[in-house]
Amino acid sequence: MFNPHAPTPRQVIVRQQLPAPPERVFALFTTAQGLRSWFCDEAESTEALHGEVHAGWTEDDGSSWERIGRWVEFDPPRVAVLEWYGVQSAGKNAGEEGQLVPDYWRIAVAPDNESAGSVVTVVSPLVASDVAMRPELLADAARMGWETTFAALREMLTDAPEGR
C-alpha cells in the first residue's frame, strides 16, 4: 500500500519557495486551469477527494499522450495526492497479473514564514525512461526537472500577479 508520508527509493522529494499564497499555489497543482498554465496542454480536474484528473500533451510532430487518475487525498490548500496512470503505457505500467500500477504524486503547500509566499514540497515518482539509467541518475534528472519547473513557476507568478 502506498504511504505518501514515507517516500521510497523510486521517488524524489523537492522543496521550493513560490511567490504566491498557498491557495493560489495549490490551485496551480490541482485545478484544470492551473495545470494547463504550466504542466500540460489539456486538463480536466474534479477538485475533490476521489475526483478524476485527466492531463494530455501534444508533441511537435502531432502525436499525443495522456495520463488519467484521481485525487486520493485532497485537503485544500495544504495537501493533495494524485494516483495516476499513463494511458499509452499500459504494458509498461502493468504488474505481475496485468493490472496497471499507479504512480503517486504528493503536493504539500505551506505558508512561507519569511515572505507572503508558499513553500511547496513535491514527492514525485522516478518515471522510467526509454534509455537505461541508474536510479541515482534518474533521481538527479527528476530533481533538475523539478528545479526547472519551479523556476518557470516563480517567473510566471512574478510576471502575472493574482488578479491579472
Over 70: is that where the pLDDT of 90 sits?
no
Average pLDDT over residues 34-41: 95
pLDDT value for 164:
45
Looking at the chain, the whole-number percentage of residues with pLDDT higher than 90 is: 60
Alpha-carbon span 6 to 78, nearest angstrom: 17
pLDDT value for 93:
46
Domain boundaries, the chain: 11-159
Alpha-carbon span 35 to 82, nearest angstrom: 13
Q: Higher model confidence: residue 94 or residue 135? A: 135
For 96-123, write each residue's pLDDT tens digit: 455 677 889 999 999 998 888 999 999 9
Give the CATH fold of the 11-159 domain.
Answer: Alpha-D-Glucose-1,6-Bisphosphate; Chain A, domain 4 (3.30.530)
pLDDT value for 139:
83
For 130-161, write each residue's pLDDT tens digit: 555 677 787 888 889 899 999 999 999 998 76
pLDDT value for 94:
47
Over 70: is that where the pLDDT of 17 sits?
yes
- Side by side, the strands of the sheet bearing 79-86 are 11-18, 118-125, 103-111, 79-86, 64-75, 52-58, 42-45
Q: Which long-range contacts (CB under 8 A, 24 or more apart) does 5-10 make?
A: 7/123, 9/135, 10/125, 10/126, 10/135
With 0.95 as the threshold, say if the pTM is over it: no
